């Protein structure tokens, strides 16, 4: 019985660790999108420069730029 409880606790700890890792990854991705949004709005950098600075793809930046233009209309 003790082994079953220990195993259960290990699973819970593993689940928490995976959740924390996933949360950090999502936060980093959201931060990159926020920065890219500001840079696109500023108009001072090309999409290639923004891609290099943020690690986002050109395609993702094009989609983001297009969505920002739609919001202005």
- Amino acid 8: pLDDT: 87
Q: How many CB atoms lie within 10 A of CB 39?
A: 19
Annotated domain spans of the chain: 2-72
- Is the model's pTM score more than 0.75? no
Alpha helix (H) residue ranges in 1-73: 2-42, 47-54, 58-72
CA dihedral 68, 44, 52, 63 (to 10 degrees): 20
pLDDT at residue 64 greater than cutoff 70: yes
Q: pLDDT by residue (tens digit) across 9-53?
A: 998 899 999 999 999 999 999 999 999 999 999 999 999 999 999
User: Which among 42, 44, 37 has a CA at the least distance from the CA of 60?
Assistant: 37
């Amino acid at each position: 019985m003790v082994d079953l409880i220990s195993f259960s606790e290990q699973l819970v700890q593993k689940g928490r660790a995976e959740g924390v890792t996933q949360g950090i990854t999502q936060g980093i991705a959201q931060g990159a999108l926020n920065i890219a949004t500001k840079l696109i709005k500023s108009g001072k950098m090309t999409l290639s420069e923004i891609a290099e600075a943020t690690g986002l793809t050109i395609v993702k930046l094009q989609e983001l730029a297009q969505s920002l233009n739609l919001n202005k209309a």
